[in-house]
A and B are shown apart, each in its own frame.
Chain A
Amino acid sequence: MSPLWTPLFILALAIAGFFAARSRALSTAGGNPRLMHSLPRVYGMNALIWTAAPALLLLAALTLAQPMMQERQVMSALPDSLTASAGETSLAMAEICRIAGGIATAIENRSLSKDAALQSSDIGTLRDALTGAGIAVTPETSAEILNGAQDWYAYDRRAALLHAVLALGAAALGLVWALRRARKDVNARSTVERGILLLLMGAASVAILTTVGIVFSMLFEAYHFFQQYSWREFFFSTNWNPRFQGGSDLGMLPLLWGTLYISLIALIGAVPIGLFAAIYLSEYASRRMRSIAKPLIEVLAGVPTIVYGLFALITVGPILRDYFAAPMGLGNSASSVMTAGLVMGIMLIPFVSSLSDDIINAVPQSLRDGSYGLGSTQSETVRHVVLPAALPGIVGAILLAASRAIGETMIVVLGAGAAAKLSMNPFEAMTTVTVKIVSQLTGDTDFASPETLVAFALGLTLFVLTLILNVIALYVVRKYREQYE
């Protein structure tokens, strides 16, 4: 039986409850809705909410909690030899889960009988039965593991049944309660509206939960990392050399340097272009030109970063190598700080230009008029009046662009290379924090080793770095907007 049936059944019950409660409430009023406190359908909604909401919440909570409790129970039955260290425990549990999953599929497609899987206490016959059903069990697989898998499967089945019974019971209780309250003088509307308000509040708190989730998941794993690796080494060492057999150097300075160097080049490219484009579009351009050019430049912001990455990899990188780096003897790598920086610069132009455009437009016309009245030319007005007035906002825009640059991933993954280096040469391949997060977390990863966990420490650093930039930028931009409103 698919686990989806229980919630579907609860929903069906809730919909049936809707119609039952509506007609019941109507009948208590003798079929005249004018005599009822609330509209007939509100009584139906009441039944719907009472039937579905508690039952589904209960089901979700049980489904989330069950694997953990089950794991603890199965683990406690394992002998100490298998749970000597955290790594061994997780290996044993993974093996148990795998075999239990195999048993479940084998029973489902009838290649294994339930009795053979659960009753046989003799390890030899059990092993044969499992192997016969196509589950990979080696002779080395110990009896404890196999028994654990048996227990796991049995718990799984029992839990699934228990959950279904509990959730359906909750649904039935809710339905009965709501049906009893489907009378004409009951204030059903307030109940329903309070329920909806709770739902709305729940949705609004998803944003907070996301932030909490981000911070906790990274803090938790970063804490594991710093237990195994000195934080001084991580923050201040200039060596990055992860080795999966252990004994790696995991200093983040070269990664940070690459990140900052690339971001710097990107900003050097994007800020003047973006700023001048914003000035031209808001101060000089005709309406017509503005209505065409502004959206077109903003298309650059809508292009996915993987497109920029590919552009860096197959167009910009080779051109830079063949026409600049190689002739000048600066390097012969297509992926380089310059490649990633320039392409990222293109991506940042619309960020700088549209934010600056908004801010320049927010500068009151009276300031400009005053300047013109004193005889300044348009460019003098822009340089001496508009820009100084808009400066805090523009700084905010640049900070936001910088935070984008630091957190950007695909352009640097495809354009910057993978070698962690501290070098000044912009035509050399370097790497960044985000590139290393990707490379340490993709492929086969072992969540107990510092080489994998370092990604969470890097992620935390990145998060904190961009958060600081964002908070300052948002504060500056917001404060500045209020000034002229």
Chain B
Amino acid sequence: MTEITTSLLTLDARTQKRNAAERRFRAYGLAAVLTGLLLLVILLVSVLSNGLGAFRQTFVTVDITLDRAQIEEAEAALVKTKIYRGFIEDNIAASLEAAGVTEANDASAAADLLSKDAAASLRDWARTRLESDGEKWSKSFDFLAAGRIDGYLKGRVTMESAALDSKVTPEQLQLADTLRDAGVLVVKFNTGFFTLPDASENQVEAAGLGVAILGSAYLMLIVLFLALPIGVAASIYLEEFAPKNRLTDLIEVNISNLAAVPSIVFGILGLAIFINFIGLPQSAPIVGGLVLTLMTLPTIIISTRAALKAVPPSIRDGALGVGASPMQTVFHHVLPLAAPGILTGTIIGLAQALGETAPLLLIGMVAFVREYPAGPPEGFFDPASALPVQVYNWTQRADPAFFERASGAIIVLLIFLAIMNITAVFLRRKFERRW
């Protein structure tokens, strides 16, 4: 007879080992979940901390006063912007004096801190003045400060880095300090980031998302107006009318495969068919919209079919029972009941399309676009940019100051996506119906 060495009251070594294994396993699982969440936080914090600066911009506030004679003289000159620059210098000197800065009152050096097109924008204003009545005009201008000065005030550029930089000198940064103390140089909210078009390599301060936001809006409009009707129609056919045969099987397999095809392949399709074969213009929202429509269709079809499936057969039977035709049953009874689900799926599909970059690169939307596209529908054929492509575009610039813009653009993109997804969740919660 073997001796009983174990007891229910004390744990033997084997049980202890098994319990430890259990705890370890549980800890691994928890660690995995926490890692996932931590990575999400790191990702968002990294983007936010890099990009928040793009929403604020350094401006040089100058009160400009010009009279008709001055403008006419400048317009008659050969190099007009040089004269206008002179006007800015004079007025900066006056502002400095008013602010009580006496030492380092070098207006010409201060004007060097301005963005390159300050004189041109002054000239645009001055020329419109000439056409109006009056002899003397004054206006308070907020000129953009040059990119490096902006970087200095935001802490991106330091005295040490300026010493190595050909575009800015430490002396200019000291001058910037003086001007800031005098209240001439101020950092404030940057509305231009949302309204201005893209700018060239040397003018990071003037680069904005205007064209990209408009282009993305056009894309979404096209996707919405094409993908929603086609997707819903396709789902109705497949779910309610299609006979079970090999053709419908083929369509089903096709749709689930299309949902998993890499997005860049859709870009190749757009380039080969829509641009090279049909001859639509490059960089145009219409091509981007078509490509994104084809990409979004599987998402919309899959969610619409789920929504149609969720409508109980009793609704259909009831409608058919009172004499409605199958078509009337679907359009009068099933579709309205499935509408919230369809809407949610469509919003999620649109959100996916809004963030898509790779196919748009191939159809040429990465081109440098400074002109706003015209209003729809002609504008659908004009060159435009899109938010995610603009981000990519800015990461390819040599000046690292564009990274801040790129991260800022990402924040704008993420805010749009968050709004769309939250709307979808809200709609689902509000209209979800259990049968």
What 0/1 readout, one digit per residue, does chain B (380-406) give for beta carbons within 8 Å of chain A? Answer: 000000001001100100000001001
A30 in contact (CB, < 8 A): no
- Across the interface, which residues of B come within 8 angstroms of A378, CB to CB? 22, 25-26
Q: Contacting A281 at CB < 8 Å: which of B33, B251, B273?
A: B33
> Which chain A residue shows the least CB distance to B266?
A214
Instruction: Report whether B22 and A306 are in contact in the complex, using a CB–CB cutoff of 8 Å.
Output: no
Interface hub of B33, B231, B255, B327 (most chain A Cβ within 10 A): B33
Given A463-B261, A463-B265, answer yes or no on A67-B236 (Cβ-Cβ < 8 Å).
no
- Across the interface, which residues of A come within 8 angstroms of B421, CB to CB? 302
Instruction: Report whether B268 and A437 are in contact in the complex, using a CB–CB cutoff of 8 Å.
Output: yes
What 0/1 readout, one digit per residue, does chain A (459-474) give for beta carbons within 8 Å of chain B? Answer: 1001100110011001
Instruction: Report whether A204 and B417 are in contact in the complex, using a CB–CB cutoff of 8 Å.
Output: no
Interface residues of B in 318-369 (CB under 8 A from A): 325-327, 351-352, 354-358, 361-362, 364, 366
B61 in contact (CB, < 8 A): no
**Assembly CA distance A280 to B265 (angstroms):** 36
A374 in contact (CB, < 8 A): no
Interface hub of A306, A378, A400, A471 (most chain B Cβ within 10 A): A306
Instruction: Report whether B278 and A207 are in contact in the complex, using a CB–CB cutoff of 8 Å.
Output: no
Given A203-B230, A204-B242, A217-B269, answer yes or no on A442-B40 (Cβ-Cβ < 8 Å).
no
Q: Contacting B234 at CB < 8 Å: which of A200, A214, A470?
A: A200
- Across the interface, which residues of A come within 8 angstroms of B273, CB to CB? 213, 217
**Assembly CA distance A218 to B233 (angstroms):** 28
- Across the interface, which residues of B come within 8 angstroms of A382, CB to CB? 25
Sample (5) of A-B pairs whose CB atoms are under 8 Å apart? A207-B301, A214-B265, A297-B37, A302-B421, A306-B391
B57 in contact (CB, < 8 A): no
A410 in contact (CB, < 8 A): yes
A326 in contact (CB, < 8 A): no
Describe A's contact surface by its main secondary structure. helix
Q: Contacting B268 at CB < 8 Å: which of A275, A297, A404, A459?
A: A459
Instruction: Report whether A304 and B297 are in contact in the complex, using a CB–CB cutoff of 8 Å.
Output: no
Interface hub of B36, B39, B43, B253 (most chain A Cβ within 10 A): B36
**Assembly CA distance A29 to B234 (angstroms):** 37
- Across the interface, which residues of B come within 8 angstroms of A281, CB to CB? 29, 33
Which of B139-147, B170-178, B407-415 forms part of the interface with chain A? B407-415
**Assembly CA distance A281 to B31 (angstroms):** 11
Instruction: Report whether A434 and B262 are in contact in the complex, using a CB–CB cutoff of 8 Å.
Output: yes
A84 in contact (CB, < 8 A): no
B310 in contact (CB, < 8 A): no
Which of A123-131, A231-239, A308-316 forms part of the interface with chain B? A308-316
Instruction: Report whether B233 and A199 are in contact in the complex, using a CB–CB cutoff of 8 Å.
Output: yes
- Across the interface, which residues of B come within 8 angstroms of A413, CB to CB? 358, 392
Chain B min CB distance to A160 (Å): 15
**Assembly CA distance A315 to B271 (angstroms):** 33
> Which chain B residue shows the least CB distance to A273?
B32
B65 in contact (CB, < 8 A): no
B50 in contact (CB, < 8 A): yes
A299 in contact (CB, < 8 A): yes
What 0/1 readout, one digit per residue, does chain A (397-422) give for beta carbons within 8 Å of chain B? Answer: 00010011011111001100000000
Instruction: Report whether A406 and B251 are in contact in the complex, using a CB–CB cutoff of 8 Å.
Output: no
Q: Contacting B258 at CB < 8 Å: which of A207, A275, A346, A403?
A: A207
Q: Contacting B265 at CB < 8 Å: which of A197, A273, A315, A459?
A: A459
Interface residues of B in 246-304 (CB under 8 A from A): 250-251, 253-258, 260-269, 271-273, 276-279, 294, 297-298, 301
Given A406-B262, A442-B366, 16 other A-B residues pairs in contact with their CB atoms under 8 A: A200-B241, A204-B237, A208-B251, A208-B254, A211-B258, A214-B266, A272-B32, A277-B32, A304-B413, A306-B388, A306-B413, A400-B260, A404-B260, A409-B357, A438-B264, A459-B264
**Assembly CA distance A199 to B378 (angstroms):** 27
Describe B's contact surface by its main secondary structure. helix
A43 in contact (CB, < 8 A): no
- Across the interface, which residues of B come within 8 angstroms of A211, CB to CB? 254, 257-258
Given A305-B355, A455-B268, answer yes or no on A273-B35 (Cβ-Cβ < 8 Å).
yes
Instruction: Report whether B264 and A437 are in contact in the complex, using a CB–CB cutoff of 8 Å.
Output: yes
- Across the interface, which residues of B come within 8 angstroms of A1, CB to CB? none
Instruction: Report whether B357 and A410 are in contact in the complex, using a CB–CB cutoff of 8 Å.
Output: yes
Chain B min CB distance to A361 (Å): 15
**Which A residues fall within an 8 A CB radius of B?**
2, 4, 64, 67, 189, 193, 196-197, 199-208, 210-211, 213-214, 217-218, 220-221, 272-277, 279-281, 283-285, 293, 296-297, 299-300, 302-311, 313-315, 346, 349-350, 353, 377-380, 382-383, 400, 403-404, 406-410, 413-414, 434, 437-438, 441-442, 447, 455-456, 459, 462-463, 466-467, 470-471, 474
- Across the interface, which residues of A come within 8 angstroms of B301, CB to CB? 207
> Which chain B residue shows the least CB distance to A297?
B36
Chain A min CB distance to B203 (Å): 21
Instruction: Report whether A214 and B361 are in contact in the complex, using a CB–CB cutoff of 8 Å.
Output: no
> Which chain B residue shows the least CB distance to A201?
B237
Given A213-B269, A304-B413, A310-B395, answer yes or no on A196-B40 (Cβ-Cβ < 8 Å).
no
Given A213-B269, A459-B264, answer yes or no on A200-B410 (Cβ-Cβ < 8 Å).
no
**Assembly CA distance A442 to B267 (angstroms):** 11
Instruction: Report whether B355 and A207 are in contact in the complex, using a CB–CB cutoff of 8 Å.
Output: no
Q: Contacting B40 at CB < 8 Å: which of A197, A299, A315, A380?
A: A299
Instruction: Report whether A306 and B29 are in contact in the complex, using a CB–CB cutoff of 8 Å.
Output: no
B19 in contact (CB, < 8 A): yes
Instruction: Report whether A474 and B37 are in contact in the complex, using a CB–CB cutoff of 8 Å.
Output: no
Instruction: Report whether B265 and A407 are in contact in the complex, using a CB–CB cutoff of 8 Å.
Output: yes
Q: Contacting B358 at CB < 8 Å: which of A296, A349, A434?
A: A434
Chain A min CB distance to B186 (Å): 28
**Assembly CA distance A213 to B46 (angstroms):** 40
Instruction: Report whether B276 and A447 are in contact in the complex, using a CB–CB cutoff of 8 Å.
Output: yes
Instruction: Report whether B414 and A210 are in contact in the complex, using a CB–CB cutoff of 8 Å.
Output: no
**Assembly CA distance A300 to B43 (angstroms):** 9
Instruction: Report whether A314 and B37 are in contact in the complex, using a CB–CB cutoff of 8 Å.
Output: no
**Assembly CA distance A311 to B392 (angstroms):** 12
**Assembly CA distance A310 to B411 (angstroms):** 12
> Which chain A residue shows the least CB distance to B248?
A204
Instruction: Report whether B18 and A293 are in contact in the complex, using a CB–CB cutoff of 8 Å.
Output: no
Given A280-B32, A462-B264, answer yes or no on A210-B22 (Cβ-Cβ < 8 Å).
no
Interface hub of B260, B410, B421 (most chain A Cβ within 10 A): B260
> Which chain A residue shows the least CB distance to B240?
A200
- Across the interface, which residues of B come within 8 angstroms of A400, CB to CB? 260
Instruction: Report whether A314 and B327 are in contact in the complex, using a CB–CB cutoff of 8 Å.
Output: no
- Across the interface, which residues of B come within 8 angstroms of A404, CB to CB? 260, 262
Instruction: Report whether B357 and A200 are in contact in the complex, using a CB–CB cutoff of 8 Å.
Output: no
B238 in contact (CB, < 8 A): yes
B229 in contact (CB, < 8 A): yes
Instruction: Report whether A276 and B18 are in contact in the complex, using a CB–CB cutoff of 8 Å.
Output: no
Instruction: Report whether B358 and A285 are in contact in the complex, using a CB–CB cutoff of 8 Å.
Output: no
Instruction: Report whether B254 and A217 are in contact in the complex, using a CB–CB cutoff of 8 Å.
Output: no
**Assembly CA distance A404 to B260 (angstroms):** 8
Q: Contacting B264 at CB < 8 Å: which of A189, A201, A407?
A: A407
Instruction: Report whether A471 and B257 are in contact in the complex, using a CB–CB cutoff of 8 Å.
Output: yes
Instruction: Report whether B262 and A407 are in contact in the complex, using a CB–CB cutoff of 8 Å.
Output: yes
Instruction: Report whether B362 and A438 are in contact in the complex, using a CB–CB cutoff of 8 Å.
Output: yes
- Across the interface, which residues of B come within 8 angstroms of A296, CB to CB? 36-37, 40
> Which chain B residue shows the least CB distance to A215?
B269
Instruction: Report whether B237 and A297 are in contact in the complex, using a CB–CB cutoff of 8 Å.
Output: no
Given A203-B233, A438-B361, answer yes or no on A377-B414 (Cβ-Cβ < 8 Å).
no
Interface hub of A202, A309, A408, A474 (most chain B Cβ within 10 A): A309
Instruction: Report whether A206 and B230 are in contact in the complex, using a CB–CB cutoff of 8 Å.
Output: yes
Instruction: Report whether A208 and B357 are in contact in the complex, using a CB–CB cutoff of 8 Å.
Output: no
Instruction: Report whether A437 and B260 are in contact in the complex, using a CB–CB cutoff of 8 Å.
Output: no
**Assembly CA distance A471 to B29 (angstroms):** 30
- Across the interface, which residues of B come within 8 angstroms of A285, CB to CB? 33
Instruction: Report whether B272 and A456 are in contact in the complex, using a CB–CB cutoff of 8 Å.
Output: yes
B100 in contact (CB, < 8 A): no
**Assembly CA distance A218 to B26 (angstroms):** 49
Instruction: Report whether A220 and B410 are in contact in the complex, using a CB–CB cutoff of 8 Å.
Output: no
B157 in contact (CB, < 8 A): no
